Amino acid sequence: MVGVSPAPARTSNEAIVAAARRILESDGLAAVTMRSVAEAVGVRGPSLYKRVPDRAALIRAVGASVVTDLAEALALVPETEDARIDIRVVSARYRTFVLRNPNGYRLLFDDLPPAEAPDPGAVAALGEPIVGAMLRLVGPRHALEAARTMTAWAHGFVSMELAGAFRLGGDLEAAYAFGIEAILAGVSASATRSSR
């Protein structure tokens, strides 16, 4: 116990990032101001600079927290025997997470100044479960290309869904399932053909 300092902390880094993420999700990135975040944790704007270098670092920390949660949601523990089943499971969890955290997810791919963007390496590492499953499905020679095809499609699908770019109606749940099956069939066929 050292609680005899002249001015004990009234907030914490975790509380600040959590508040910023809450505001981001409910009101969008533009609403995440130093003053609004400060108010949400019970201090004034300038006090945030005791814990966060600047707004860009705060936005980056929010992105990192989204990446952490998404990575946890996608982790395959344990893997099943069938790589196809694992890929279906990971893809379904991916879309579920994105639809529940739309503004947080967009932070990972939006056009942000480099200082605000989350670590590209951490974002790229989100594809690991798919790379692992593709290794089992199509073998080492085409695992990376196959995984990139699947992750690019999944990201593209949810990103367009969030942007309202699917205008012609139809069942998006079914369209998502169609895409997974098409790519599973396609990467197997392409990998087989080009290995001969």
Partner DNA sequence: ACCTGAACACCGTTCAAGT
Binding site for DNA (CB under 7 A): 5-11, 32-36, 38, 43-47, 49-50, 54-56
Which member of 124, 139, 141, 195 binds its own copies (CB under 8 A)?
Answer: 124
Binding its own copies (rule: CB under 8 A), the pick from 82, 160, 173, 195 is: 160
The three-state DSSP-derived secondary structure of 119-172 is CHHHHHHCCHHHHHHHHHHHCCCCHHHHHHHHHHHHHHHHHHHHHCCCCCCCCH
Using the contact rule CB under 8 A, the part of the chain among 45-53, 54-62, 91-99, 170-178 near its own copies is: 170-178
Least Å distance, CB 45 to DNA, is 4
Whole-number Å distance between alpha carbons of 87 and 166: 24
d(CA 101, CA 95): 10
Q: Would you count residue 36 as binding its own copies (CB under 8 A)?
A: no
Distance separating alpha carbons of residues 47 and 177, to the nearest angstrom = 48
Other C-beta atoms closer than 10 Å to the C-beta of 91 total 25
18 — phi, psi (to 5°)?
-65, -40
* Site track for its own copies across 16-35, x = CB under 8 A: ------------xxx-----
Task: By CB under 8 A, name the binding residues for its own copies.
Answer: 28-30, 103, 106-111, 113, 117, 120-121, 123-125, 142, 144-146, 148-149, 151-157, 159-160, 162-168, 170, 174-175, 178-179, 181-187, 189-190, 194
